[in-house]
Chains A and B, each alone.
Chain A
Amino acid sequence: MENNFNSTEEYVASEELMASVNVAMALKKPLLIKGEPGTGKTMLAQAVAKSLGLRLIIWNVKSTTKAQDGLYMYDTIQRLYDGQFGEEGVDDIARYIKLGKLGEAFESEEQVVLLIDEIDKADLEFPNDLLWELDQMEFYIHETKRTVKAKKRPIVIITSNAEKELPDAFLRRCIFHYIAFPDEALMREIVKVHFPDVEENLLKNAMDTFYWIRSMREVRKKPSTSELIDWINALQIGGIPADKIRSELPFIGVVVKKDEDLETVKHYV
């Protein structure tokens, strides 16, 4: 493999994760990423694109998204209007076909990275509707009788928050990676990427407190990586002395987001 994905300046990937990305690329399969919120699933695609020097196309999936939206849209209303006012080129249906994100990725002259973000947000059947398209990397536009085929097979990265279970047939076609919550060593690296000159003492205290909060069983919403990064940023800007972090929990609202959790944490201080 010539084009290998590596950690970038902004993104620290575990060895396992790097291997997953590279295997997925070599086998030409979509890579399905699962993990706790805030473990950097979405950022991975950006890092892959950057590391390989490719363009990134993001398809944000919402609860109302249909598979068809990613392929193409036939703007019938526009055509209807144009027809009523006698515009030029109404008879050319292709003018009213707008490619979706998947179509855009297929039509691109260069290889791109396609991120299908939070696929589990959509309806249960959504992934099944994309099976053929992701397998064969092509789809058919009925209105113009044209087949859109990928010029360069895009690298497909799919993220899921596990809100819904994905269908087996879909899973069969994916390479799966579960981003485990980073351990302290990896977390340290991640924080250093964001704040290269963070003071050692502050970092240590903040991380200790962070993992201590995470270890509490009663805490309902466990803070994640992005929250730790925000917190360290806040601590730095606020100029809080390192030894006060554990005892006074300054700006704790950045880390703990629920009233009940806040009380639990304060109770243990």
Chain B
Amino acid sequence: MFLKFFYKCREKELKIGLSEWLTLIDALDQGLCGSQLTQFYYVARMILVKSETDFDKFDTAFEEVFKGAQADEEVTQQMLRWLDKPELSELLKKEEKRFGNQHTSEDNQIDKEDVETRFKERLKEQTEEHNGGSFWIGTTGSTPFGNTGNYVGGVRVGGASGYQSAFEVVGQRKFRDFRDDRVLESRQFQMALRKLRQFSTRLEIPKTELDIDATIDKTCNNGGCLQIEMMRPRKNAVKLLLLMDSGGTMIPYSSLVNELFQTVNKSNHFKDVKCYYFHNCIYSKVYKTPECENGDWIDTDWMFRNLDSDYKVIIVGDAAMAPEELYSVTGNYRGPNGGLAGIDWLKLMKSHYKRIIWMNPKMAPGRAPWREAETAIKELLPMYKLTVSGLNEGMKKLMETR
């Protein structure tokens, strides 16, 4: 019946399968949606959408499907005839006025006429969807108006409150903030970082856990006298190296990067976490503090020597720098270059650390030739935008086994 809506939802990348759809049909059959679009909206949403991050996609799909639809010729004419009744037009106007006012008070951008035409469109469309309007007419009993002549008012008013509030909800798009392609917040960071897990029992730690199976086997072999067997607990073997840009162009993202830092520091599921800072690009030194004070640093070579290639590396930076900062052997205007250009240091990073990604808070979509440094780095290292979905992709990349 609402197949179009189903496909629209899928088009909007909502993961809806047949089972959910059948559940919704079941709900409709049981009359759980009542006869109101608002209720249908909520019921459809609670069945089809499984995460608040997808509410916004659902809202847009819903709006597109139930807004502009084909009118049912016959019903429209019938309605127009009803609408012609002079004794009702007064009442009607009153209702319209109320309806219009309501809207203007809540949303000043919509003028009354627009509201009215849109409202009529929806009315037509909904009548069609509800099998020739029989559904709708059923509801009219509850409106202040009674019989045939007042039908119009009934349909209209019932429709108005029903539609209007559904679209009010949709129109506000109040779940836009929950979309997961927007920029991250700390809780979502945590969720993404949890993906970095690689359980291993082969770590060099003492055997502290009771190996139940082995104990049972041994005990049985021992004729029922208890013989305890211990094993190493499973621990996450992932080691993480976080390198963060704290250059001037990163200031707008400082709270975001700070959030990431806090999260990484708080996550206790890593075997080891190391954090260092750099300014625009990585050269022969990395800094211990975000202030990047001269002297408060360690040699990048030292880092290579001491943090072996098992470390998974996340570089956070906007990759916004002048070309010479990347290509010139004297490009580092704040500290030593170490005889190599920035790009060569990055190549060294890449050859040393097998799992390395670059997270960019303001990455340009697709190819962006005007950002020369960004494009060059993108070719060298896998770069993702610092958003929920970007970080998730990055985590996947880091966990890839070759």
In the bound assembly, the distance between CA atoms of A24 and B30 in angstroms comes to: 12
User: What chain A residues lie within 8 Å of B23 (beta carbons)?
Assistant: 27, 29
Q: Which of B15, B30, B52 contacts A26 (CB 8 A)?
A: B30
Per-residue interface assignment for chain B, residues 172 to 209, with 1 indicating a CB less than 8 Å from any chain A CB and 0 otherwise = 00100000000000110011001000000000000000
Min CB distance B98 to A, Å, is: 21
Per-residue interface assignment for chain B, residues 39 to 75, with 1 indicating a CB less than 8 Å from any chain A CB and 0 otherwise = 1001100110111100100000000000000000000
Q: Which of B42, B47, B52 contacts A34 (CB 8 A)?
A: B52
Min CB distance B262 to A, Å, is: 9
User: What chain B residues lie within 8 Å of A16 (beta carbons)?
Assistant: 42
Number of residues of chain B lying within 8 A (CB) of chain A: 27
Contact assessment for B50 and A176 in the assembled complex, using a CB-CB cutoff below 8 Å: yes
Per-residue interface assignment for chain B, residues 3 to 35, with 1 indicating a CB less than 8 Å from any chain A CB and 0 otherwise = 000000000000101011001001100101000
User: What chain A residues lie within 8 Å of B49 (beta carbons)?
Assistant: 176
Contact assessment for A32 and B27 in the assembled complex, using a CB-CB cutoff below 8 Å: no
In the bound assembly, the distance between CA atoms of A16 and B49 in angstroms comes to: 14
Identify which of A83, A173, A177, A178 gathers the most chain B CB atoms within 10 Å of its CB.
Answer: A178
Known: A22-B32, A23-B46, A165-B191. A178 touches B224 (CB 8 A): no
Mostly, the B contact residues are helix
Number of residues of chain A lying within 8 A (CB) of chain B: 31
Q: Which of B43, B55, B191 contacts A19 (CB 8 A)?
A: B43
**CB closest residue in chain A, given B178:** A178
User: What chain A residues lie within 8 Å of B15 (beta carbons)?
Assistant: 168
Min CB distance B199 to A, Å, is: 11
Which positions 26-45 of chain A face chain B at CB distance < 8 Å?
26-27, 29, 32, 34
Q: Which of B27, B39, B50 contacts A171 (CB 8 A)?
A: B50
User: What chain B residues lie within 8 Å of A6 (beta carbons)?
Assistant: none
User: What chain A residues lie within 8 Å of B187 (beta carbons)?
Assistant: 162-163
Min CB distance B161 to A, Å, is: 13
Q: Which of B26, B46, B174, B194 contacts A20 (CB 8 A)?
A: B46
Known: A29-B23, A164-B194, A168-B15. A23 touches B43 (CB 8 A): yes
Q: Which of B27, B30, B46, B174 contacts A176 (CB 8 A)?
A: B46
A175 near B: Cβ within 8 Å? yes
User: What chain A residues lie within 8 Å of B19 (beta carbons)?
Assistant: 172-173
Min CB distance B150 to A, Å, is: 27
A84 near B: Cβ within 8 Å? yes
Min CB distance A193 to B, Å, is: 23
Min CB distance A168 to B, Å, is: 6
User: What chain B residues lie within 8 Å of A174 (beta carbons)?
Assistant: 50
User: What chain B residues lie within 8 Å of A162 (beta carbons)?
Assistant: 187, 191
Identify which of A16, A23, A177, A180 gathers the most chain B CB atoms within 10 Å of its CB.
Answer: A23
Min CB distance B321 to A, Å, is: 29
Contact assessment for A27 and B27 in the assembled complex, using a CB-CB cutoff below 8 Å: yes
User: What chain A residues lie within 8 Å of B43 (beta carbons)?
Assistant: 19, 23
Per-residue interface assignment for chain A, residues 172 to 198, with 1 indicating a CB less than 8 Å from any chain B CB and 0 otherwise = 111111101000000000000000000
In the bound assembly, the distance between CA atoms of A207 and B190 in angstroms comes to: 31
User: What chain A residues lie within 8 Å of B20 (beta carbons)?
Assistant: 172
Contact assessment for A19 and B39 in the assembled complex, using a CB-CB cutoff below 8 Å: yes
User: What chain A residues lie within 8 Å of B30 (beta carbons)?
Assistant: 26-27
Min CB distance B391 to A, Å, is: 13
Q: Which of A32, A76, A80, A84 contacts B50 (CB 8 A)?
A: A32
Contact assessment for A178 and B52 in the assembled complex, using a CB-CB cutoff below 8 Å: yes
Known: A172-B19, A174-B50. A163 touches B191 (CB 8 A): yes
In the bound assembly, the distance between CA atoms of A29 and B32 in angstroms comes to: 14
**CB closest residue in chain A, given B186:** A220
User: What chain B residues lie within 8 Å of A29 (beta carbons)?
Assistant: 23
In the bound assembly, the distance between CA atoms of A139 and B332 in angstroms comes to: 66
**CB closest residue in chain B, given A218:** B255
User: What chain B residues lie within 8 Å of A24 (beta carbons)?
Assistant: 46
Known: A163-B190, A165-B191, A174-B50. A27 touches B26 (CB 8 A): yes
Which positions 290-341 of chain B face chain A at CB distance < 8 Å?
none
Contact assessment for B42 and A19 in the assembled complex, using a CB-CB cutoff below 8 Å: yes
Min CB distance A231 to B, Å, is: 23
**CB closest residue in chain A, given B19:** A172
Min CB distance A54 to B, Å, is: 21
In the bound assembly, the distance between CA atoms of A175 and B47 in angstroms comes to: 5
In the bound assembly, the distance between CA atoms of A174 and B23 in angstroms comes to: 10
In the bound assembly, the distance between CA atoms of A168 and B15 in angstroms comes to: 9
In the bound assembly, the distance between CA atoms of A166 and B26 in angstroms comes to: 24
In the bound assembly, the distance between CA atoms of A84 and B223 in angstroms comes to: 11
Min CB distance B40 to A, Å, is: 11
Contact assessment for A172 and B17 in the assembled complex, using a CB-CB cutoff below 8 Å: yes
Min CB distance A99 to B, Å, is: 21
Contact assessment for B46 and A164 in the assembled complex, using a CB-CB cutoff below 8 Å: no
**CB closest residue in chain A, given B18:** A172
In the bound assembly, the distance between CA atoms of A22 and B23 in angstroms comes to: 14
Which positions 154-174 of chain A face chain B at CB distance < 8 Å?
162-166, 168, 171-174
In the bound assembly, the distance between CA atoms of A32 and B190 in angstroms comes to: 21
In the bound assembly, the distance between CA atoms of A111 and B317 in angstroms comes to: 56
Min CB distance B28 to A, Å, is: 11
Show 13 residue pairs from A and B whose CB-CB distance is below 8 angstroms, ordered by the A residue.
A20-B46, A23-B32, A26-B27, A26-B30, A27-B27, A27-B32, A29-B23, A163-B190, A165-B191, A171-B50, A172-B19, A176-B49, A178-B55
Q: Nearest 3 A-B pairs (CB), nearest first?
A: A171-B50, A178-B52, A176-B50
Q: Given known contacts A23-B27, A176-B49, A178-B52, what 20 new A-B pairs fall within 8 Å (CB)?
A: A19-B39, A22-B32, A23-B47, A24-B46, A26-B30, A27-B27, A27-B47, A76-B216, A83-B224, A84-B224, A164-B191, A164-B194, A165-B191, A171-B50, A172-B20, A172-B50, A173-B19, A174-B50, A176-B47, A178-B55
Interface residues of A (CB under 8 A from B): 16, 19-20, 22-24, 26-27, 29, 32, 34, 76, 80, 83-84, 162-166, 168, 171-178, 180, 220
Interface residues of B (CB under 8 A from A): 15, 17, 19-20, 23, 26-27, 30, 32, 39, 42-43, 46-47, 49-52, 55, 174, 186-187, 190-191, 194, 216, 224
